[in-house]
């Protein structure tokens, strides 16, 4: 087990190295780097000379855009990154880790609540559907789930904003604080105001992702239901309730636990499009803007953050598999 994990961790390092190299080269190839956009007016009006501009670029190591220049820049980035220096954001002038930490909270909150709701709804529903295979409930739930899965995030999001936020006026959207909120509002009022803004985004996220989990649960439950030990359980005269909750459910959880490990990137990495649609200042929207303006340190760190979460999620899935199912031995 330990040998296996060490081997996998070494492999993950290799993967991250490859990912970072590809992303760094791509980001450096982006045409209008942040400084070029920022100082173009000054350059054109002659307030700043080309030499001064080049000096600024050189200061950030962006002056040499040849292949070897980019490689050199990558090496510089990598050595700093390994030593725990993630760089300073061009846009905000703050340390990248501070920005990520400050904005991750809200993204994590939304994703966490959505994930909880998803689990609470999808798993019982999936089991229910599997037990009534081809029944009315099964059909309705399957079709509804597939419709939910087919909706593009931004379409459903904008539809919800139009109907529920503007037409009906039930919810607030756009940011996290209502314009009408009095300045001296207490902490509790502020909190509920924020919750009010988060209802629609969470709803959208749940609708979009519930289908996958529900269908996964259903498939696995069906597989378990056909297993010999379920027949044995029934044959020895257990009540259907006991068969389902004690024998089926526990075995269904094995693949589900692994499946949930894969949600790690979405849990911490924020939902770029949902956050952009609803104007939530989470890590996803910050990263989106960073990529748009070419804020290299922030964009790089965000992408690496996501890649790391993906790698860790996969590793976690494999380990969890061995943890929940004692039959599985991890061979290194």
Partner 1 sequence: MKDRKNLSENGLPTEQTAETENVLATEQTAETENVLATEQTAETIDDLHGENLTERVKVLSPGMTVLKRFFRSKLSVIGLVTLIFLFLFSFAGPLFSPWRADGGTTKDYAAENIKSSYDHVSIAYTVDGEEYTALAVSVSTPSYNILGDINGDHWMGTDASGYDVFTRLMYGGRVSLTIGFVVVILETVLGVLLGGLAGYFGKWVDQLIMRIVDVLSCIPSLPIMLILSALFDSWGLGDSIAKLYYMMVVLTFMGWTGVARLVRGQILSLREQEFMLAAKCAGLSTSRKIFKHLLPNIIPQLIVSMTLGLGSIILTEATLGYLGIGAPLDTATWGNMINLASNETYRQYYANLWLGSGICITLAILAFNFVGDGLRDAFDPKMKR
In angstroms, the CA 222 to CA 207 distance is: 23
| Matching residue, tokens 């996998």 | 8
Q: Kindly state whether residue 203 participates in binding partner 1, applying the rule CB under 8 A.
A: no
Closest by CA to 222, choosing from 161, 150, 142, 327, is: 142
Q: Kindly state whether residue 6 participates in binding partner 1, applying the rule CB under 8 A.
A: no
Residue 196 in contact with residue 274, Cβ under 8 Å?
no
In angstroms, the CA 46 to CA 43 distance is: 5
Q: Which stretch binds partner 1 (CB under 8 A): 68-76, 111-119, 239-247, 273-281?
A: 273-281
Q: Kindly state whether residue 94 participates in binding partner 1, applying the rule CB under 8 A.
A: no
List the one residue from 63, 203, 259, 323 that touches partner 1 (CB under 8 A): 259
Q: Kindly state whether residue 134 participates in binding partner 1, applying the rule CB under 8 A.
A: yes
Q: Kindly state whether residue 201 participates in binding partner 1, applying the rule CB under 8 A.
A: no
Q: Kindly state whether residue 2 participates in binding partner 1, applying the rule CB under 8 A.
A: no
List the one residue from 9, 22, 98, 116 that touches partner 1 (CB under 8 A): 22
* Rounded least distance, CB 11 to partner 1, Å: 6
**Which residues in 105-151 belong to E strands, given as ranges?**
none
* Rounded least distance, CB 331 to partner 1, Å: 6
Q: Which stretch binds partner 1 (CB under 8 A): 63-71, 186-194, 237-245, 285-293?
A: 285-293
Q: Which two tokens stand for residue 45?
A: 């009006």
In angstroms, the CA 131 to CA 2 distance is: 39
Q: Quick one: 71 or 185, whose CB is closer to partner 1?
A: 71
Q: Which stretch binds partner 1 (CB under 8 A): 185-193, 196-204, 243-251, 288-296?
A: 288-296
Q: How many residues bind partner 1 (CB under 8 A)?
A: 72
Closest by CA to 23, choosing from 258, 221, 302, is: 302
Q: Kindly state whether residue 321 participates in binding partner 1, applying the rule CB under 8 A.
A: yes
Footprint (CB under 8 A) of partner 1, residues 158-187: 158-159, 161-162, 166
In angstroms, the CA 129 to CA 120 distance is: 15
Q: Kindly state whether residue 152 participates in binding partner 1, applying the rule CB under 8 A.
A: yes
Q: Which two tokens stand for residue 234?
A: 């029934």
Q: Quick one: 176 or 265, whose CB is closer to partner 1?
A: 265
Output the DSSP codes for 272-304.
Answer: HHHHHHHT--SHHHHHHHHHHHT-HHHHHHHHH
Residue 37 in contact with residue 322, Cβ under 8 Å?
no
Q: Return the bridge partners of 88, or none.
A: 95
CB burial readout 318-327, b (16+ within 10 A) else e: bbbbeebeee
Q: Quick one: 11 or 58, whose CB is closer to partner 1?
A: 11
Q: Kindly state whether residue 40 participates in binding partner 1, applying the rule CB under 8 A.
A: no
Footprint (CB under 8 A) of partner 1, residues 211-230: 212, 215-216, 218-220, 222-223
List the one residue from 43, 113, 121, 149 that touches partner 1 (CB under 8 A): 149
Q: Kindly state whether residue 146 participates in binding partner 1, applying the rule CB under 8 A.
A: yes
């Amino acid at each position: 087990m330990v040998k296996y994990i060490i081997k996998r961790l070494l492999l993950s390092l290799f993967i991250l190295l490859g990912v970072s190299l590809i992303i760094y080269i791509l980001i450096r190839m982006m045409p209008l780097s942040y400084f070029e956009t920022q100082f173009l007016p000054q350059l054109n009006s002659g307030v700043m000379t080309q030499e001064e501009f080049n000096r600024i670029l050189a200061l950030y190591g962006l002056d040499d855009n040849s292949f070897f220049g980019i490689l050199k820049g990558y090496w510089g980035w990598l050595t700093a990154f390994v030593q725990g220096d993630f760089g300073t954001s061009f846009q905000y002038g703050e340390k990248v880790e501070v920005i990520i930490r400050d904005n991750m909270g809200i993204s994590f909150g939304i994703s966490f609540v959505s994930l909880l709701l998803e689990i609470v709804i999808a798993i019982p529903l999936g089991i229910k559907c599997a037990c009534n295979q081809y029944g009315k409930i099964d059909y309705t739930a399957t079709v509804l789930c597939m419709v939910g899965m087919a909706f593009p995030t931004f379409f459903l999001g904008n539809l919800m904003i139009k109907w529920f936020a503007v037409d009906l006026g039930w919810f607030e959207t756009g940011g996290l604080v209502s314009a009408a909120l009095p300045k001296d509002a207490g902490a509790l009022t502020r909190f509920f105001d924020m919750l009010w803004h988060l209802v629609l985004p969470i709803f959208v996220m749940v609708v979009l992702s519930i289908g996958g989990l529900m269908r996964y649960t259903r498939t696995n439950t069906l597989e378990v239901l056909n297993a010999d030990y379920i027949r044995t359980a029934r044959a020895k005269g257990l009540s259907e309730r006991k068969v389902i909750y004690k024998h089926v459910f526990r075995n269904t959880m094995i693949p589900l636990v692994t499946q949930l490990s894969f949600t790690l990137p979405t849990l911490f990495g924020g939902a770029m499009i949902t956050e952009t649609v609803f104007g939530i200042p989470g890590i996803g929207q910050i990263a989106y803007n960073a990529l748009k303006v070419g804020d290299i340190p922030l964009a790089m760190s965000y992408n690496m953050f996501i890649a790391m979460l993906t790698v860790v999620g996969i590793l976690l899935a494999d380990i969890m598999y061995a943890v929940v199912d004692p039959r599985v031995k991890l061979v290194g």
